[in-house]
Structure 1
Amino acid sequence: MKTTKRLEQALTKLYTAFHNNELNPECCKQCAVGNILDNTDSWKHLSDRHGTLELNYIGKVHETLGRRFNGYRPLELLKIENIFLKTCGYSLPLHHKNDKPENPTDKDVLFNGLNEVVKFLCYLDNVPNVMDYTKLFEFENEKPKYELEFYN
């Protein structure tokens, strides 16, 4: 499957962070967007409340100027983080009094969040969802419709 450069880079960073236990929804450098942006937290200055879809003045200026961060517009970054946090079980905006998962760094919690983030990243680049495995189970005349490819 053909992907875009920014999608490939984002997926690689998220995959690496997940498997190296460097994905943490409560850390601006280790969350989904923090990892996509090379473990920096400068993106948090695009909004006044973590997890919202509202750009602040700085975010609006960057958005209006067409600024991109590792290929993503400010509003796209906020949406990525919003999806990640929601799917991990957080009530948004992020606040110590709001609901959050019992164990935010649990692999199942993180996988659920990443699954939705990857789906959204693919949507942004008009690429079929790379996490969609349903085609593997399609059949016709009692035989698999598609061949399973293995890479060694």
Structure 2
Amino acid sequence: MKTSHRLESALKKLYNAFHSNTLNPECCIQCAVGNILDNTDSWKYLSDSHGALELNYIGKVHQSLGRKFNGYTPLELLKIEHIFLNACGFKLPLHHKNKKPKNPTDKAVLFDGLFAVVDYLCKLDSITNVMDYTKLFEFENEKPKYELN
């Protein structure tokens, strides 16, 4: 399957962060977007709240100028983070009084967040979700419909 450079890069960074235990939903540098943007927190200035979907003035300026950060627009970045946090079980936007998972860095929690993010990233590039294995279990006439390569 052919993927874009931005998707390939984002998947590698998220994969590495997940397996090296450097993925943390509560940290702007180690969250999904922080990792996609090379462990920087400059993206947090695009909105007023972590997990919000509304661009602030700075975010609107970057969006209107057509700026992209590692291939993603400011609105796409906010949506990626929103999806990640929501799938991890956070009530958004992030706030110390809002509901959050008991252990935000638990591998199962992070996997749920990453699964949702990868689905969205694939939709942005108009490709099938690379994490979707349901085709492996499709069958016809009692035989697998697809073969593993």
Name the TM tier (shorter chain): over 0.9
Structure 2 letter corresponding to 1:11: L
Q: CA RMSD in A?
A: 0.4
Distance 1:79 1:28 in 2: 14
- Does 1:73 pair with 2:80? no
Unaligned runs of 5+ in 1: none
Name the SS of the counterpart of 1:146 in structure 2. coil
Alignment of 1:111-126 (within 5 A): 111-126=111-126
Distance 2:50 2:5 in 1: 27
| Residue matched to 2:22 | 22
Instruction: Give the TM-score normalised by the residue count of structure 2.
Output: 0.99
Identity %: 78
Shift of 1:148: 1.2
The number of residues matched between the two structures is 149
| Residue matched to 2:82 | 82
Distance 1:51 1:61 in 2: 19
Instruction: Give the TM-score normalised by the residue count of structure 1.
Output: 0.97
Distance 1:2 1:137 in 2: 23
Structure 1 letter corresponding to 2:141: N
Name the SS of the counterpart of 2:85 in structure 1. helix
Shift of 1:22: 0.5
Structure 2 letter corresponding to 1:76: E
Distance 1:65 1:71 in 2: 14
Distance 1:73 1:61 in 2: 11
Shift of 1:54: 0.4
Structure 2 letter corresponding to 1:87: A
Shift of 1:62: 0.1
Structure 2 letter corresponding to 1:78: L
| Residue matched to 1:52 | 52
Structure 1 letter corresponding to 2:18: F
Distance 2:127 2:44 in 1: 27
Distance 2:5 2:127 in 1: 12
